[in-house]
Amino acid sequence: MTVTESLDPAERVPLESSIPGATLASILLTEELHRRPSRSPEYEKENSALAALVSALADSPDTILQTLADKVLEVLHADSAGLSLLTKDRKRFYWAAIAGAWRPHIGGGTPRNFGPCGDVLDHNVPMLFAHWELRYPYLSSAMPLADEGLLAPFYVNGQAAGTIWAIIHDKSHRFDAEDLRLLESMGRFASAAYQAVESIEKLRQEIVAREKAESEVRELANGLETQVRVRTEQLERNTRILLDSTKALEREIAERKRAEDNLRRSEVLLTEGECLSSTGSFSWRVATGAITWSQELYRIYELEIGVPVTLDLIRTRVHPEDISLIEKMKKVDQASGDDTAFEWQYRLMMPNRSIKYLHAVANVIRDRDGQREYIAVVQDVTARRRSDEALDQARSDLARVARVMSLGTLAASIAHEINQPLSGIVTNANTCLRMLAAETPDIQGAVETGRRTIRDANRASEVITRLRALFSRKGPAYELMDLNEAAQEVIALSLSRLRRNQVVLQTELASDLTPVMGDRVQLQQVILNLFLNAVDAMSGVEDRPRQLVIKTEREKGDRVRLTVQDAGVGFEPQNADRLFETFYTTKSNGMGIGLSVSSSIIESHQGRLWAALNDGPGAMFSFSVPCRPETEGRL
């Protein structure tokens, strides 16, 4: 007997003779349902239930599934009702919401490949079961037993998502055709509600992500405060629009009488969600080449809504250096032919030459004939991209400010480093003149004095070159570099300051140090900042030598470490984690950005910066960077 054939009531298998593994046809009463006397349509009760559901969707989306189960129980006069949703691995159903006698079983479930819910989705039709525990013995533990169970499937974006069901536990009454109509209506609402809840959750996540990014920008640079406030106000306006749209939808549903209108209004809600999140969607049928776009995707591409979408039309918007998502899907389909899901980022060049940045996610589904269809979601992330660029620029400016402030404290040392070779140049030039002006000119001596003059001039030029590099606004320039040489150049700039503060310098630079891939100026900025902090920490020390140790060494895992150790006042152990926070400082005249910027620089080199107290007085600050960071390929 097929699923669609009728089963005479006299042929039903009685409960007391349960046979595990009974055939599906033996427990189906679907055809009989249509022959039973049916009550008149209850449109007013149906519309009242749907209006209450939309109100719940607007005010508390998290409770919509349970509210839906409660309303099914009410309008079908059932003993139990609920929703079964497929798990992420699509191997089981779980009972996400239950009302009535079976409510204690909420959270339970059934297998996907052997259960009433799975059979309903496999046949894609509503089904009426009688004593389903005859076929599925594990349901005999769900008490009270189901005398009749009416199930209907529902889908989201053309993909099976679950079933909605109602149960009668005794023979006091029976389901009729009106019950089936009401359940199918509720099933259509379940599809829209399930998709709306997912869209709202995605919107919440985007709101949280945007608020986090805006908070970081505000903390790093007060100059971006106005921009952050404007973005926050825009987000609040968008949220109010969503709430207003939801309330308008509720009022509209109250004026409608048929379930088809409820589904149409739910689709309007989803369209608004796409607009607010700047997310469009489309489908591409591989066999026919047909492409269908949502209204939001037309808006993102700035094309007239309804214009037939072709690959040539898409190419008029895609940046010449990028490949469109449709072309990418064609390449994937031709290369693999399987149900591959992937992400893709590309740019659009609009008619006014402005650039948009898009992020797309594509998945493959198959229809009943096994034909593949790509379903893709495309989000306009241009605003997020601009925000990230502004954040990077703020960090770069902050790093340069910290570098200039550090070099300002070395002004006296820098002047001394430049004055020394300049004094030598003047002295050597005078000596050379005297040698040449003698009665018997000393040509050989004048030549040697000239060489010394050139040497001193080169020394002064090198100092100026190092200063110009540290003061420059150039972006990061990554190259293979010797960390020992970088440290020695910083020491050369700092020697006069060390002598003036009576600091004894001890160097322990490893001879077998592996070159690292990094930006020389940025790493020298970190070393310089650690040097100055160490000198400041020892400025008030009088009872012990002011000893400063700089050390380099190799670490396991192909890494290199540099340590600056002082004999100063140290820091409070409970404040160790706060030392690298922006604007936190222990100095009376400090700004609290030096260590924060240094930490950011080291993190950008795939390394880490940390502090520790010495066994005796003072503290040590160390950073470790890899010899071949993971980002080397993109640097």
For residues 548 and 538, is the Cβ–Cβ distance under 8 A? yes
Which pLDDT score is estimated for 216? 65
| pLDDT-based confidence at residue 591 (cuts at 50, 70, 90) | very low
Q: Tokens for 140?
A: 């005999």
- Is the per-residue pLDDT at 389 higher than 80? no
pLDDT digits (tens, 9 = 90+) for 358-376: 888 887 777 777 777 778 8
Q: How far apart are CA 447 and CA 433, in angstroms?
A: 11
For residues 89 and 109, is the Cβ–Cβ distance under 8 A? no
β-bridge partners, 130: 148
- Is the per-residue pLDDT at 396 higher than 60? no
Q: What is the DSSP secondary-structure string of 331-361?
A: HHHHHH-S---EEEEEEEE-TTS-EEEEEEE
Which pLDDT score is estimated for 167? 96
pLDDT digits (tens, 9 = 90+) for 263-288: 466 555 556 666 677 788 878 787 77
β-bridge partners, 375: 283, 363
Which pLDDT score is estimated for 595? 77
Q: Is the pLDDT higher at 462 or at 344?
A: 344
173-177, 301-305, 410-414, 626-630: segment of lowest average pLDDT: 410-414
- Is the per-residue pLDDT at 489 higher than 70? yes
Q: Kindly state the percentage of the chain with pLDDT values over 90.
A: 25
Chain position carrying tokens 């495309």: 378
Around Cβ 557, how many Cβ atoms within 10 Å? 8
Give the distance from CA 70 to its chain's centroid: 36
Q: How far apart are CA 138 and CA 309, in angstroms?
A: 51
- Mean of the pLDDT values across residues 441-447? 82
Which pLDDT score is estimated for 353? 86
Which pLDDT score is estimated for 274? 64
- At 462, give phi and psi (nearest 5°): -65, -40
DSSP state of 41: P
For residues 503 and 548, is the Cβ–Cβ distance under 8 A? yes
Which pLDDT score is estimated for 344? 76
Q: Is the pLDDT higher at 169 or at 493?
A: 169
For residues 68 and 190, is the Cβ–Cβ distance under 8 A? yes
Around Cβ 204, how many Cβ atoms within 10 Å? 12
Query: Which of 251, 176, 186, 151 shows the shortest CA–CA distance to 49?
Result: 186
β-bridge partners, 612: 620
- At 227, give phi and psi (nearest 5°): -65, -40
- Is the per-residue pLDDT at 118 higher than 60? yes
- At 292, give phi and psi (nearest 5°): -125, 130
Question: How high does pLDDT run on average in the chain?
Answer: 78
Query: Which of 470, 471, 508, 510 shows the shortest CA–CA distance to 489?
Result: 470
For residues 390 and 230, is the Cβ–Cβ distance under 8 A? no
Which pLDDT score is estimated for 533? 87
| pLDDT-based confidence at residue 623 (cuts at 50, 70, 90) | very high
Contacts of 56 by beta carbon, 8 Å cutoff, 6+ apart: 63, 64, 67
Which pLDDT score is estimated for 229? 78
- Is the per-residue pLDDT at 473 higher than 80? no
The 3 state secondary structure assigned to 414-435 is: HHHHHHHHHHHHHHHHHHHHHH
Kindly state the helix (H) or strand (E) to which residue 81 belongs, with its residue range: strand 80-86
Kindly state the helix (H) or strand (E) to which residue 275 belongs, with its residue range: helix 259-276
| pLDDT-based confidence at residue 13 (cuts at 50, 70, 90) | very low
Q: How far apart are CA 404 and CA 577, in angstroms?
A: 26
Radius of gyration of the chain from its Cα atoms, rounded to whole angstroms: 37
Q: Is the peptide bond before 144 cis (omega within 30 degrees of 0)?
A: yes
Which pLDDT score is estimated for 44? 85
Which pLDDT score is estimated for 119? 94
Q: Which of 312-321, 440-449, 557-566 has the highest mean pLDDT?
A: 557-566
Q: Tokens for 512?
A: 């077998």
Which pLDDT score is estimated for 445? 80
| pLDDT-based confidence at residue 160 (cuts at 50, 70, 90) | confident
The 3 state secondary structure assigned to 475-523 is: CCCEEEECHHHHHHHHHHHHHHHHHHCCEEEEEECCCCCCCEEEEHHHH
- Mean of the pLDDT values across residues 394-420? 55
Report how far apart the first and last C-alpha atoms of the chain are (Å, whole number): 69
Query: Which of 103, 118, 102 shows the shortest CA–CA distance to 160?
Result: 118
Which pLDDT score is estimated for 582? 57
β-bridge partners, 352: none
| pLDDT-based confidence at residue 576 (cuts at 50, 70, 90) | low
Kindly state the helix (H) or strand (E) to which residue 460 belongs, with its residue range: helix 443-471
| pLDDT-based confidence at residue 50 (cuts at 50, 70, 90) | confident
- Mean of the pLDDT values across residues 288-308? 84
Which pLDDT score is estimated for 198? 67
- Mean of the pLDDT values across residues 395-409? 54
- Mean of the pLDDT values across residues 181-195? 83
- Is the per-residue pLDDT at 488 higher than 60? yes
- Is the per-residue pLDDT at 127 higher than 90? yes
- Is the per-residue pLDDT at 8 higher than 70? no
- Mean of the pLDDT values across residues 301-313? 83
In degrees, rounded to 5, the angle at the alpha carbon of residue 521 between the alpha carbons of residues 515 and 527 is 80
Which pLDDT score is estimated for 14? 36
Pairing of strands 503-508, 478-481: unpaired
Q: How far apart are CA 345 and CA 502, in angstroms?
A: 57
Q: How far apart are CA 285 and CA 494, in angstroms?
A: 68
- Is the per-residue pLDDT at 633 higher than 80? no
Which pLDDT score is estimated for 635? 38
SS percent in the chain: helix, strand, coil, step 5: 50, 20, 30
Q: Is the pLDDT higher at 235 or at 600?
A: 600
Q: Is the pLDDT higher at 288 or at 611?
A: 611
Pairing of strands 127-130, 546-555: unpaired
Q: Which domains does the chain have, with CATH numbers?
A: 9-196 (3.30.450.40), 278-380 (3.30.450.20), 393-633 (3.30.565.10)
- Mean of the pLDDT values across residues 482-494? 89
Which pLDDT score is estimated for 157? 83
